[in-house]
């Protein structure tokens, strides 16, 4: 089994986190310690919890638990994207694209949770 960086979900969650980082640079300064910080943290945590899960894959319960954390962070990111849209910091089109990316990450995480043996979990 390869490294976590070979996983499609790792690549897609990293890409989403980096896209959110770039977009959030344009958020107003007064959002620095609220929306900007929170959306960056949750999008990055989606990815990092996945990395932690992969390292714990020898233990099925730990693996699934960390994947669940990753999925939770991904859901939080979608929530923050809704706030960014409502505050008119991002367009409807960009919101739709980012939410679609987030949902794809969620589906991949869900697959891992339901098929842990395919990822080296015992």
What was the pLDDT predicted at 121?
A: 80
- Could you give all domains of the chain from N- to C-terminal order, each with its CATH number? 4-115 (1.20.1440.60)
- Amino acid 3: pLDDT: 84
3-state DSSP assignment of residue 97: helix
Q: How far apart are CA 39 and CA 43, in angstroms?
A: 6
Mean pLDDT of 78-97: 98
**Which pLDDT does position 113 carry in this prediction?**
97
Cα 65 to Cα 52, 59, 78, 84, distances in angstroms: 10, 10, 20, 29
Q: What does the radius of gyration of the chain's CA atoms come to, in whole angstroms? A: 15
The Cα 80–Cα 61 span in angstroms is 29
CB 81 within 8 A of CB 90: yes
Average pLDDT over residues 98-106: 98
Encode pLDDT of 27-48 as tens digits. 999 999 899 999 999 999 999 9
């Amino acid at each position: 089994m390869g490294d976590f960086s070979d996983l499609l979900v790792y690549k897609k969650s990293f890409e989403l986190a980096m896209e959110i980082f770039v977009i959030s640079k344009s958020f107003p300064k007064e959002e620095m310690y609220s929306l900007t910080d929170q959306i960056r943290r949750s999008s990055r945590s989606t990815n990092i919890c996945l990395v932690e899960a992969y390292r714990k894959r020898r233990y099925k319960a730990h693996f699934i638990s960390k994947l669940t954390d990753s999925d939770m962070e991904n859901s939080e990111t979608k929530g923050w994207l809704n706030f960014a849209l409502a505050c008119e910091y991002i367009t409807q089109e960009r919101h739709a694209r980012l939410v679609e990316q987030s949902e794809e990450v969620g589906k991949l995480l869900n697959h891992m949770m339901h098929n842990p043996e395919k990822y080296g979990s015992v």
